[in-house]
Chain A
Amino acid sequence: MDAVQTAIVERVAEQHRHHAKGQFFWVWGALLVITAIEVYLGYQNMQPVRMLSILMGLSIIKAALIIAYFMHMKFEVTRMRWLTMASLVFCLAMMCVFFPDAFRILHLAVR
């Protein structure tokens, strides 16, 4: 087991060495630019729902960049990529079931 683990660690390290360092700077730049866009959007007079959708869309792009490049997920095996991301997205998506009740409170609340 230990020999196997060491061999895998070495293989993963070898894989790392093949990545061009430049891409990390590009990703970093993109993240900073998207952040700047978000801050700019934060000062626009927009309907909250539209603003939320745009901001969350941008944030998901940022998260995807971080996961894919910084967290190396893009270079993991397909099975790991799909199983981890699918289970996470599935659970988070299920939690959206909370929201109809939050809206209901608005209508049912004692004023």
Chain B
Amino acid sequence: MNQPLIDLRNITKSFDKTVVLDDLNLSVAENTFVTLLGPSGCGKTTTLRIIGGFETADQGQVIFDGEDISKLPPNKRQLNTVFQKYALFTHMNIAENIAFGLKIKGKSRTYIQDKIRYALKLVNLDGYENRSVSSLSGGQQQRIAIARAIVNEPRVLLLDEPLGALDLKLRQDMQYELIRLKNELGITFIYVTHDQEEALTMSDTIVVMNQGYIQQMGTPEQIYNEPENAFVADFIGESNIVPGIMIRDELVEIFGARFACVDKGFGTNRPVDVVIRPEDIDLVEPSAGTLTGVCTHLIFKGVHYEMEVTTPDGFEWLVHSTDLCPVGKEVGIHVDPFDIQIMNKPASEDEEAVGVNE
């Protein structure tokens, strides 16, 4: 990989003695869509604000295109931010909002006019120049906020939960808009969200964070299919996380039953955590299953049924399937080898938090 555009090195930040980020390292390559994903309080917004220059890290460096910008104020950085609550200037009309940054840079009147028209077209709001901010809906306001940021031609666009205040349908539309924008503009997006679906839909790279540490970094597929620890598995989508013992390479024992899997290199007879996604569990005849259990719960969810199958050891398996299994029926559980994900058991809370992708 060539030189990263943004490089966070050993960033540490505390507020009032609460450590929010602890020795965080993160590289962002040019022209990628990177999402910082995690529950509230995990440090994702703080990370973004440190990149934007609104917070300064207690320790560590922010490297932008090979230069240390840790001490630069936000107005001297070549990046722009789209804020969670739009932060439009309500006493200015749309055109004035968009022109704000360009006027400061002393661009010519015609240049600014062209840019405004171009940006409004880009966010599908042509002709809105003279409208007031308050006459726009939430989704439109967010588009204007994006237009206002991108006319400055930043190398990086920082987005802080920009869709958080929109309703579901609008949020989905905007997700596609953002993907399109990123492809058309060819700039780097750093996106903060707590919504895993948003992250999976849009990102090239997802950075899962918790308690100030990066839990895992990878493509959406990697994050979803190969979570590295229980936190990631649990946070991204629904999952069954069960204790198991790695008998040897490609064989794991769960509740006394042996499942074939594809993971290697965990040693022999080692306790591990096993992640199995609810949609990867196949319910079969009891005789054909690796484990057997009784269906104890059934809910119709539209696309699929959600069921709970309780095995004799008392574990309730969450199962998503389009095939119905009535409550009380005995079923067998079968899982294909490549649907089983093995994770190291964390030795302690700290180790659980630190686990970083190589």
Do these two chains really belong together in a complex?
Answer: no
Q: Which residues of A line the B interface, CB within 8 A?
A: none
Q: Which residues of B line the A interface, CB within 8 A?
A: none
